[in-house]
Structure 1
Amino acid sequence: MSLQLDRHGWLKPGRGVSLTPSPNFNERPRGTAVSLLVIHNISLPPGELGGPHVEDLFCNRLDYAAHAWFENLRGLRVAAHFFVRRDGAVQQFVATDKRAWHAGVSRLHDREGCNDFSLGVELEGTDVLPYTDEQYAMLGRLTVALKARYPLTHAWGHEHIAPGRKTDPGPAFDWQRFGATCGFLRRSLPPG
């Protein structure tokens, strides 16, 4: 089953797809083409999978008292466009036509501020935990849908656009496998 975006950049909700609008976005700079897909990972608290905490973080309703580590996130306003859970379910937080706050201080080649021209996908996981078959399958389907709408020329990890600051999706992510699922050529993927 293919995924499709509506005219505003939202996926059609249904089996394995849910929409949870986040306030953590703004408009892209006028005339900016979306050309980069940024792949991240997240688990909250770190190393713990499942639960509502990622959704709560992206929607500014995280209960900081629920875990001592959450104090590190107090005041943080972030959201990726998409979150792919371990079972392959995808949750969309920001319309693709909008600038989600996922990349932070970042650079691709000579362009700074990757949020301006990118889409962000968070995979539920850690840098060292292998991603699931279901995640690769959904990420591939999602990427095909995004490439049908936007002139994506690169798919890089957060670690590649914010080196020294970020480490995700980490060594557990198989870039060749990902490229094979969605048609990204090696030259479009991170160096290395």
Structure 2
Amino acid sequence: MIKWFLLFLGAAVFYLWVKGKKQAKFNAEKASRSKAKQPKIADPVVMVQCQYCSVHLPKPEAIAKEDRFYCSQKHLNALDEKGWLGAAHWRPSPNQDARPEGMAPDLMVIHHISLPPGGFADRNSTSFIVDFFQNRLDSSLHPYFEEIADQKVSSHFLISRSGEVFQFVSIQNKAWHAGLSSFLGREKCNDFSIGVELEGDGEHPFEEIQYQALAGLTAQIQDAYPNLLFAGHSDIAPNRKTDPGAQFNWEKFQSRASISSEKFPFGLRSR
């Protein structure tokens, strides 16, 4: 009797085990189907702010420039309310100060610069110029750098041989680019001018891409300051300076930028 009882008990236990396995499998499949039907939770969208207009937008939709973001190409290529150009590489210089109260720029001064002199012809000297305007130039790298180590100068913009545009000072502030100077009887040209340096010298022609970049930059600045006049450093400091020199083609610049010849009080001849 006991033998039959144990046999029956074993069969019952086996039956319950098999039934439990089937139920567990059924529950797992049901849970899997239920999970598949649930909507997938999307990853949170990173939002960024347009540097120009402050509108917020998803990061994948923004135009990135260095560590800044813009909502449109138009805003990237414009001067913001603080006087910085979105499309430029921003490299702030300590060599600047405020313009006289109520004074807006009405003159653009064209310069040339090469560090070391003529260095751009066989090497990329752009980084040396950037360091120089930021007071970071390593004077041990070249004998000429030792000669200029104590100078504190800057410009609002630099256009490299490859057409890249760098900005060092807001156009609302003074950059230290003109020095002792006079424009049509007005002294201290830094007070009312915007300085633009072209990477080059008086011996080599400037690159076509530099004229294109200069024309684009001029158009952007004229949107904010439509009354700009144009001159070279040698025009406002004739006894000290010769830049941008005879290799700078004023007629080409005037044509590329579509500027009235009346905006050039010293004429369009190369000098």
Taking structure 1 as the reference length, what is the TM-score of the superposition?
A: 0.94
The number of aligned residues is 189
Runs of 4+ with >4 A deviation: none
Question: Residue in 2 aligned with 1:4?
Answer: 78
Higher relative contact order (CA 8 A, sep 6+): 1
* Structure 1 counterpart of 2:91, from 14, 20, 40: 20
The DSSP-based 3-state class of the residue aligned with 1:146 is helix
1:155 corresponds in structure 2 to 230
- Give me the whole-angstrom Cα distance separating, in 2, the residues matched to 1:25 and 1:184: 28
Alpha-carbon distance in 2 for matches of 1:134, 1:141: 11
Alpha-carbon separation, structure 2, partners of 1:128 and 1:142:
24
In the alignment, what sits opposite 1:139? 214
Share of identical aligned residues, percent? 43
Could you say which residue in structure 2 is the equivalent of 1:61? 136
Following superposition, the deviation at residue 184 of structure 1 comes to 2.0
Counterpart of 1:171 (choices 246, 251, 254) is: 246
Max Rg structure: 2
1:100-111, aligned counterparts within 5 Å?
A: 100-111=175-186
With over 3 angstroms needed to count, the CA separation of the structure-2 counterparts of 1:63 and 1:128, relative to structure 1, is same
Partner of 2:100: 29
Q: Whose helix fraction is larger, Structure 1's or Structure 2's?
A: 2
User: Structure 2 vs 1, CA of residues 152 and 120 (structure 1 numbering), >3 Å: closer, same or farther?
Assistant: farther
Q: Distance in 1 between matches of 2:248 and 2:94?
A: 29
- After superposition, the CA RMSD in angstroms is 1.3
The answer to whether the Cα contact below 8 Å between 2:82 and 2:172 also exists between their aligned partners in 1 is: yes
1:46 alignment partner in structure 2: 117
Contiguous gaps of at least 5 residues in structure 1: none
